[in-house]
Each structure stands twice: as structure tokens, then as C-alpha cells.
Amino acid sequence: MVMSLFFFYSFLCFVLLISLCFSSSFDHHLCSPTETSALLQFKQSLQVKSDYSLCDTSFPKTKSWNESKDCCTWDGVTCDVLTGHVIGLDLSCSQLVGNFHPNSSLFQLHHLQTLNLAYNDFYPSSIPHNIGRLTNLRHLNLSYSTFDGKVPTEISYLSNLVSLDLSYGFALQLNERTFEAMLHNFTNLELLSLFLVNISSPIPVNISSSSLRYVDLYDTNLQGALTENFFLLPNLEMLYLSYNDLLNGVFPKIHPSSTLLELSIAYTGISGEIPDSIGTLSSLKYLNLQQCQFSGSIPDSVGNLTEIRELILSHNHFTGHIPSTISKLKQLTCLDLLSNSFSGEIPEIFSNLQELRHLDLSKNSFIGPFPSSILSLTHLEYLGLSSNSLSGPLPSNAGMLPNLTELDFSYNSLNGTIPSWVFSLPLLSSVSLQHNRFRGLTDEVIKTNPTLKDLHLSHNQLSGSFPQSLVNLTNLVTLGISSNNITVDEGINITFPSLSSLFLSSCELKDFPHFLRNMKTLTVLDISNNKIRGQIPDWFSGMRWDSLRFLNLSYNSLTGYLPQLHFHNLGYLDLKFNSLHGPLPSSICNMSKLSLLDLSHNNFSGSITHCLDSMVELSVLDLRRNNFIGSLPPFCAHSTLLSTILVNGNRFEGTVPMSLLNCFRLEIFDVGNNAINDTFPAWLGMLQELQVLILKLNKFHGRLSSRKKFYFPKLRIFDLSCNKFSGSLPARLFENFSAMIKLDDGDKGEIKYMEQLSEYSMYEDSVSLVIKGHDIELEKINTIMTTIDLSSNHFEGVIPKTVKDLGSLRLLNLSRNNLKGPIPQGLQFNTFANDSYGGNLDLCGLPLSKQCGTSGSSHVPQPSESYFFSGFTWESVVIGYSFGLVVGTVMWSVMFQYRKPIWFVEFFDGLMPHKRRRSKKRALRRQT
Ligand SMILES: *[C@@H]1O[C@H](CO)[C@@H](O)[C@H](O)[C@H]1NC(C)=O
Ligand SMILES: *[C@@H]1O[C@H](CO)[C@@H](O)[C@H](O)[C@H]1NC(C)=O
Ligand SMILES: *[C@@H]1O[C@H](CO)[C@@H](O)[C@H](O)[C@H]1NC(C)=O
Ligand SMILES: *[C@@H]1O[C@H](CO)[C@@H](O)[C@H](O)[C@H]1NC(C)=O
Ligand SMILES: *[C@@H]1O[C@H](CO)[C@@H](O)[C@H](O)[C@H]1NC(C)=O
Ligand SMILES: *[C@@H]1O[C@H](CO)[C@@H](O)[C@H](O)[C@H]1NC(C)=O
């Protein structure tokens, strides 16, 4: 596209140059005084700002303008050879700044045929109506001249225009009438570029500009259906309609005489199938249909596009096989079928496609062996086959891929050994083989390869000792080898002097790998979920890892005291599920860059009352299941970023610290299973983001009812069970759970646990699994769980009728209190069974068998229809938002296996197709 524009402009310049030569060969005054003064007036109305340079070379052309010389010799001015009239003005890239006057003297130059004001800054002027007076204009270029507001209707009077360029018109609006008038009146128009102008209307039906060759309506907010009219223009060569997501309709039928060279309709709402007639576009060089709604298969006639260089069909719903006729497209440099539903084996068509540089077949349903004809593509630079179901081994001989820089075969079922060529291609920089079934690495020597930076081997079946054969990959930056059956022997001596990220989680490590001593540049280290026992060795804690940002030692069997760790820049420290004990060392409390600290499920003890004082960036704190004592630290006294506070299962006492009021981002607060002795912290209701509040099993007491309002606008999980709360259940409490009353689809209120760490999920899948595990589980909890548990307290009196209005309440437990009177009926309340109300002897009405008064129903619910989960504990919720995907999912399925209330089936079905965000991100990354 840029090239084509360039071509057009070069041509124009050529024409101008010729006329310029002619004009300057006449050495006498030709310029009329009126035109001279008009030009000088124009010059004076604007400023020149020398630091304003959008162009590579900008030059203040108007500087040379003065009366002592004939105006025809001024920079940028062209005169007619015979008449001496100014017919051309090229002030592009002239550093002009200022307000463009509506009655600018420029409009006195009636003879102007060419006006180029591109790349200047006229903001906030709008394009003057008087532009319509320059009716001799053939070329008008206002690209990137920062005009603002409406394009005047008068522009449509310029019926002699051959080229009109308003591109980069970020602030320009072109209304429907003017757009129509232009395409109706400009019968000689060849070039039209409105890139980024806001049109917000349909493509006009009536296009008289049959000479159009180049049309750029990229990102112009076009609406309505794509009509055939552009496709019928007899001279059209370039048509760009991409990034108009409101543009819909189907791919128009192609006219056999079409002259199209480039067609781009990516990122629009266009749907349907590619018509057979596509094959008639025999001159087409570029076709981009990325991210539309296309379906069906690729017609065989695509093989007639013998001139095509780039064929981009990614992110659609295409199905079927790759047609073998593609092998006729000998000019192809880019074939991108990423993220469709293509199936079958990948045909061996590539030996003919010798020009291919970019080949992406990822995220489809291809099966069968690795297509070895790919290995003959000598120009190939990118090769993506990930997320298919390819099986069998990789060919042992690579042939020639001298220019390949990135290969991605991840997420397939490839097996056998990884051949040496994968490591030794001369320009290769990134190799992704994770999530396959490779059992080993080549026995051959792996030679030094200075270009290889990223190597992903995680989630395979590699076994034995850490592959020493990688030792020659001296410039590795990222190495992922998690989830393999790999040990690291003490003797192994490997140095990766540039290594930044090392993923060795879920392997068979029994010790801290000694070779870590050689890796001084680490930023990310994950050796979680191994079999590392005993104390953290001194050499490890003594490392000077100033660059370390992420350390995951979770799920090992670490014992003893946690030593002082001097990793000052650590942002993420995960030690959960070990057996560490004793108080926290002061160095942890001094880690001022921590945003996540997870010490849960250890035996840490002591007080942490002042430990958080320096952690000004902390956002997730998980201390569950330890033996911490003393009062809760003053959360958010020093930072206000905390979004998750989990201290369940410790021995904290005292009251809930009022400093929590500063935690305006707080979403989850779980102090269950401690010894907090306080009244109900109703003031937490001021926290607008709070979704989970668990006070279970403490020494809370007193009445809930206060004359003040309860807020809690987003609360979804509310657990006060097993405390000593007393008094009646205040109607207001339930009234104000508006989130539960109205759970609208637009705001699912995602709890974004660990979102700030998602950058790491880009590094390696094993990490993303753990992190995304949380993520998925939290979203799940958050959508499913809208629950109130007030059981095992001393509440008394009647159940307020307002409970009934909590339309999206999924679990309610009021059992073991002293409630009486009728149970509210209707809505989902019919799905709560006996156990919701058990132990309240004076309650009556459905679902209890005890009737209220005498007129009650005699229907007694069947025990087998009981929808309440008597086995329900908060442990399952806690598991849900902490343990990650596997445990959580198992728990849920066990819980729901036998009793599936209808709402649950609906909910769960809705959840299954949850797309993992990682894949989305990848897709985005690819596009850029
Ligand atoms: C076409 O241009 C002429 C002047 O050249 C103008 O009078 C007329 O209104 C224009 N037509 C439309 C539809 O704008
Ligand atoms: C286009 O392709 C189809 C199917 O491959 C073929 O039958 C037809 O002859 C081709 N048409 C032209 C004009 O080449
Ligand atoms: C490899 O890339 C370089 C630089 O882009 C290019 O000059 C060379 O011709 C390419 N080689 C092949 C075989 O494509
Ligand atoms: C590799 O995969 C192929 C195709 O699925 C299978 O036939 C073969 O048995 C596998 N080999 C090994 C060693 O697992
Ligand atoms: C590393 O490369 C050198 C030559 O470049 C080779 O002699 C040596 O065997 C290689 N080491 C391994 C472990 O492959
Ligand atoms: C893991 O590797 C060891 C040898 O290193 C082997 O004995 C064991 O069977 C392997 N386990 C699996 C599951 O492959």
C-alpha cells in the first residue's frame, strides 16, 4: 500500500518537475502582482516552527519567499509556462503551524491545479469552505495536516480532481451527503485516500468515479453492507476497507474483468464464503481477509490467483482442507491461515512455493505427520504450526532453512527425539516445542548457535538428566523445560551467561540446581512443584540476583526457617505449599517492590504486624494456613494497591484494622478461621470493589443491624458463619446487595487476581498454567458463587422478605440460628432445600415440612430433590480461588455430580467455553 502511494506520488512529482523546468527556463517576471501578494499574505498568516518535523526531511519552503524574486522561482511554487499563473503549490513538510484562515488569500489562486499541504499543523482550523472555489484543482493533498472538524460540502465542487488525499485525518468528519457528492461529482478521480477520516456512513451506491484506481477507506468507521459497486469499477487496482468493524455483508461477486491488485477487508464484519469467482482476480497480488466472519472452505479456484504474494485468511471460521491448488501460487511470500477450523492433513504442496517467507497454519485442526515439504522453503522466516493435532516425529534432516528465525510447533502431539537441526539453523532465534510428546533430544552435537534466544521445551516427555547438550546455546535468554521428567545432577556444569528466564517447574528436581550459581542475569526463576527437600541452601539465599523479579519455589518440601533473601527487586514471591516455619526474616519485610506475596500453606509463625510497612506495591497477599499471631497488620497504611488479602487459618487476634478503608481496590478479604474479636465491620461496605468477604469462624459478635446504610455494591460472597453475631437479620443488609439483585451481563465483575503478573504468562506456559489456573478459577467462582452464609450464629427473628429480591443468589445458609416464621417463597428460593434453614426450630413453610398456620400446602418435598449442598464448605471456595484449575475443578465436579440444580447446569455449561486469555494475547502479538 505504501509502495503504491509512493508510486502515485512519484508520478505526480515527475509531472510537476517537468512543468517546473519549463517555468524556470523563462527568466523574466511572469508572476502577477496579485498572485505574489496572495502568496505573501498566506505566508504571513502562518508561523514556521522548526522543531515541528513529522517528515524525515522537512524544510521551511516559505522562508525563501520574498518580493525581490519572481514568485515562480519560490520554493514550492509552480507557474504555468505560458500564462505565468501559479498552478502548483507544494508546501508539504514545510513546518507550517497556525490557524488556517477561512478566507485565506490562498483561495485567490484560482488557477491552482495542484495543492499539497501535507504534513503541517493547522490544528484546530477546519478545512475552509472556500476550498470549493479552486475548481481547477486536480490534485489535493491535505494528508496529516491536522485539520479538525467537518469536511466542507464545497469540496465536492472540485469536479476536476484526479487525486484527493485526506489520510491521517484523525479529527476529520466526512458526512454522508458530502461523501456521496464527492463520489458522484469526481468523475476523473483516480486516487482517494480517506484513511482515518470518520465517515460513519455506508458506502455510496452511486459511484461515478469510474476512473478510480486507488481507494483507501481504512479505519473510517464505514457502516452497512459491503456492496458490489466498488468491485464493478473498471479500473480499480487497490481497495482497502480494513478496520471497519461495522461494515458487514458478504464478499461480492467478482467481475471477470476486474483489475484488482490489492484487496484488504480485514477486521470487518463481513461474513459468508469466499465465492468461486475469486479465481477471476488473476492479477491479485495481496488479499487480506483477517479477522472477519468468513466460513466455508477455500474454493479450488484460489489456485488461479497465480500472481498472489500475500494470502491472509487468519482469524475466521474457515473449514475443510487446504486445497491442493494452492501449490500453483508460486509467487506466495505469505500464507497465513492462523486460527480457523481447517482440518485434514497438511498437503505436501510446499515444494512449489519457493518464495514463502511467512507460513502460519497454527490454531486449526490439522492432523497427520509434519509436512516435510516445508523444509525445502529456503526463504522461510516464520513457521507456525502450533495448536493442531500433528503427530509422529519431526524429520531428522532439515534440508535448508537458512533464513528461519522463528518456529512454533507447540501444542501438538509430535513425538520421537528432537532433531539437531532445530537448534542449529543459522538465523533461528525462537523455538517453541512445548506441549508435545518428545521423549528426548538429539544425540548429535549441538553446535554453538549465537542467534538462538528463546527455547521452549516444557510439557514434553523428556527424561533423565538436564540435557547437557544445550550447553553450546550460549546466548539463550529464555529456557522453558518445565513439566518433563528431568533431574539436575550436582555435577552438571552449564553456563548461560544471558539467561533471563528459567522455567524448571514440575520436573524431578531433588535439590536447588547448582548451575544457578552461574546464572547471574535471571529475572524469572520457577522451580516450583518439584521434589526439593530440606532447607533453602545458603548459597542460594546468598545469591546477588539484583535483576530477579519473579521467584516461585511453591509446591516443594522446603523446611526450616526462611533465610534472609536479598533479592531487592523481587515483585513476585511464591513459597506456598512448603513446610517452612519460624518468623519471617526482616529481608522479606523489606522487599519494597513486591506486588505478590504468597506464603500460604506453610508453618510460618510470629507476628507480622509491621512487616508490610515497606511493601508499597503489594497487591496480592496470601498468608493462609500458617501460624501467624498477633494483630492484623495495618493494611493499606502505606500502599493502597492491595486487591486480595487472604489470611484465613492463622491465629490473628484483635480487631479488623480500620486502615482497610484505604484499600480502595480491595476485591477479596478473607480473615476466616482466626481469633478476630470485633463487631461487624459494616464500614467495609464503603469499598466499592469488594466482592468476597469471609469472616467465618472468628469471635465476631454483636448485632448486624445498624441505623447506617449497608453498601457493599459488588459483594458476591458473604460469609459470617460460626461467629457470635446476634439480633435480627436487618432487611437493609439484603436490600443493599445490589450486585446480587441485579447481575447484569455487561459487568461480570471479574476478579482479576494476579492480573498484574500476566506479563509472566507470556514467558512460559507452565507459569501461565498456574497463574491462569487462578484466573480461570476465580472467574468461575465469581460467576457461579453469589452466596450468603450466616449459619451457626445467634440470629433470631423472622427472615426479612428482602432476601427474596436477591435474584442471583445461588447459595443461602441460614441454618443453626434461632429464626422463626415463614420462609420467603418464590424465584430461586424454591431451589434451597431443608438444610438451608435447618436448626431453626420455629421456621415454617416450604421447603420445610412444617406448615405455616393452617392453610399451608400439604406438599412435602422429596429428599432426592434437595438442591442444597449439605457438604458445602468454604473450603471449596477457598480451594477455588487458590489452588488453581485442577483441584478446583475436581472439587466442583465431585460436589455437583449427584445433585445438579437447573441453574447450575446452565451456569456450568456457560463456563466451559471460557477462552483462555493467553491465547487471545498470543493472537494479538502475532498481528503486531
Ligand atoms: C458537483 O459540482 C458542481 C460544481 O462543480 C456543484 O454545483 C454540484 O452541486 C456538485 N454536485 C454535488 C452532488 O455536490
Ligand atoms: C480457475 O480454477 C478452476 C478450478 O481450479 C478451473 O477449473 C478454471 O479453469 C480456472 N479458471 C481460469 C480462468 O483459469
Ligand atoms: C535471507 O535474508 C537475507 C536478508 O533479508 C537476504 O538477503 C537473503 O537473500 C535471504 N536468503 C534467502 C535464501 O532467502
Ligand atoms: C509417535 O506417534 C505416532 C503417530 O501417532 C505413533 O504411531 C507412534 O507409535 C509414536 N511413537 C512413539 C515412540 O510413541
Ligand atoms: C559444543 O560445540 C563444540 C563445537 O562447536 C563441540 O565440539 C562440542 O561437542 C559441543 N558440545 C556439545 C555438548 O554438544
Ligand atoms: C522418569 O525418568 C526415570 C529415569 O530418569 C525413569 O526411571 C522413570 O520411569 C521416568 N518416569 C516417567 C513417568 O517417564
Q: Ligand 6, residues 438, 441, 463: which to mutate, most atoms within 8 A of Cβ?
A: 463
pLDDT digits (tens, 9 = 90+) for 449-458: 899 999 999 9
Q: Whose CA is nearest to atom 2 of ligand 3?
A: 403
Q: How confident is the model at residue 896 (pLDDT cuts 50, 70, 90)?
A: very low
pLDDT of 882 over the 50 cut: no
Q: How confident is the model at residue 265 (pLDDT cuts 50, 70, 90)?
A: very high
Pairwise CA distance, residues 14 & 9, whole Å = 8
pLDDT of 738 over the 90 cut: no
The Cβ of residue 610 has, within 10 Å, a number of other Cβ atoms equal to: 12
Half-sphere exposure of 324 (CA within 13 A, CB side): 4
Q: Ligand 4, residues 391, 396, 415: which to mutate, most atoms within 8 A of Cβ?
A: 415
The answer to whether the CB of 405 falls within 8 A of the CB of 430 is: yes
Let me know if 443 is exposed, middle or buried by CB neighbors in 10 A (0-12, 13-18, 19+): exposed
pLDDT given at position 853 = 62
| CA 442 to ligand 5 centroid distance, Å | 13
Q: Ligand 3, residues 354, 379, 406: which to mutate, most atoms within 8 A of Cβ?
A: 379
pLDDT digits (tens, 9 = 90+) for 607-657: 999 899 899 999 889 999 999 999 999 999 987 899 889 999 999 999 999
Pairwise CA distance, residues 452 & 430, whole Å = 6
Q: Whose CA is nearest to atom 3 of ligand 4?
A: 392
pLDDT digits (tens, 9 = 90+) for 739-782: 555 544 444 433 333 332 322 332 222 222 222 223 323 333 44
| CA 155 to ligand 1 centroid distance, Å | 9
Taking alpha carbons only, the member of 165, 183, 156 closest to residue 115 is 165
The answer to whether the CB of 337 falls within 8 A of the CB of 313 is: yes
Highest mean pLDDT among 322-326, 786-790, 794-798, 912-916: 322-326
Mean pLDDT of 389-402: 89
Q: Ligand 1, residues 134, 157, 208: which to mutate, most atoms within 8 A of Cβ?
A: 157
Mean pLDDT of 494-507: 92
| CA 300 to ligand 2 centroid distance, Å | 8
Pairwise CA distance, residues 259 & 245, whole Å = 26
Pairwise CA distance, residues 223 & 174, whole Å = 13
**Residues forming beta bridges with residue 461, ordered by sequence position:** none
| CA 96 to ligand 3 centroid distance, Å | 42
Say which ligand is closest to the CA of 424. Answer: 5
| CA 480 to ligand 5 centroid distance, Å | 21
Q: Whose CA is nearest to atom 14 of ligand 1?
A: 181
Q: Which atom of ligand 2 is nearest to the CA of 279?
A: 1
pLDDT given at position 708 = 60
Residues in the ligand 6 pocket, defined by CB under 6 Å:
463-464, 485
pLDDT digits (tens, 9 = 90+) for 666-693: 988 999 999 999 999 989 988 988 888 9
Mean pLDDT of 709-717: 76
The answer to whether the CB of 531 falls within 8 A of the CB of 552 is: no
Q: Give the range among 38-47, 205-214, 879-888 with minimum mean pLDDT.
A: 879-888
Taking alpha carbons only, the member of 300, 360, 357 closest to residue 326 is 300
Q: Whose CA is nearest to atom 9 of ligand 4?
A: 392
Mean pLDDT value across the chain: 81
Q: Please indicate whether residue 391, judged by its CB atom, sits closer than 6 Å to ligand 4.
A: yes
The residues near 632 (Cβ < 8 Å, ≥ 6 apart) are 609, 647, 652, 654, 656, 657, 671, 676
Q: Ligand 4, residues 345, 367, 389, 391: which to mutate, most atoms within 8 A of Cβ?
A: 391
pLDDT given at position 784 = 47
**Residues forming beta bridges with residue 487, ordered by sequence position:** 465
| CA 531 to ligand 6 centroid distance, Å | 14
pLDDT given at position 359 = 98
Q: Which three cell numbers stand for residue 239?
A: 481497495
DSSP characters for 328-359?
G-TT-SEEE--SSEEEEEPPS-GGG-TT--EE
pLDDT given at position 928 = 27
The Cβ of residue 878 has, within 10 Å, a number of other Cβ atoms equal to: 23
| CA 412 to ligand 4 centroid distance, Å | 13
Q: Please indicate whether residue 325, judged by its CB atom, sits closer than 6 Å to ligand 2.
A: yes
Q: b/e for 783-801, b at 16 or more Cβ within 10 A?
A: bbbbbbbbbbbebeebbbe
**Residue 40: strand, helix, or coil:** helix
CA 271 to chain centroid, in Å, comes to 24
Taking alpha carbons only, the member of 500, 498, 499, 466 closest to residue 482 is 466
Taking alpha carbons only, the member of 495, 494, 498 closest to residue 476 is 498
Q: Give the range among 224-238, 288-302, 487-501, 701-715 with minimum mean pLDDT.
A: 701-715
Highest mean pLDDT among 249-253, 282-286, 766-770: 282-286
| CA 530 to ligand 6 centroid distance, Å | 14
pLDDT given at position 368 = 97
The Cβ of residue 532 has, within 10 Å, a number of other Cβ atoms equal to: 20
pLDDT given at position 902 = 28
pLDDT given at position 642 = 92
Q: Give the range among 5-19, 138-152, 745-759 with minimum mean pLDDT.
A: 745-759
Residues in the ligand 1 pocket, defined by CB under 6 Å:
156-157, 159, 181, 184-185
Mean pLDDT of 799-818: 75
Whole-number CA gyration radius for the chain: 35
Tell me the pairing of strands 47-48 and 96-97: antiparallel
pLDDT given at position 865 = 23
Highest mean pLDDT among 579-588, 774-783, 890-899: 579-588
Taking alpha carbons only, the member of 99, 80, 82, 88 closest to residue 42 is 99
Q: How confident is the model at residue 111 (pLDDT cuts 50, 70, 90)?
A: very high
Q: Which atom of ligand 6 is nearest to the CA of 463?
A: 2
pLDDT given at position 837 = 63
Domains of the chain with bracketed CATH: 667-815+846-927 (3.80.10)
pLDDT given at position 615 = 92
Q: Please indicate whether residue 533, judged by its CB atom, sits closer than 6 Å to ligand 5.
A: no
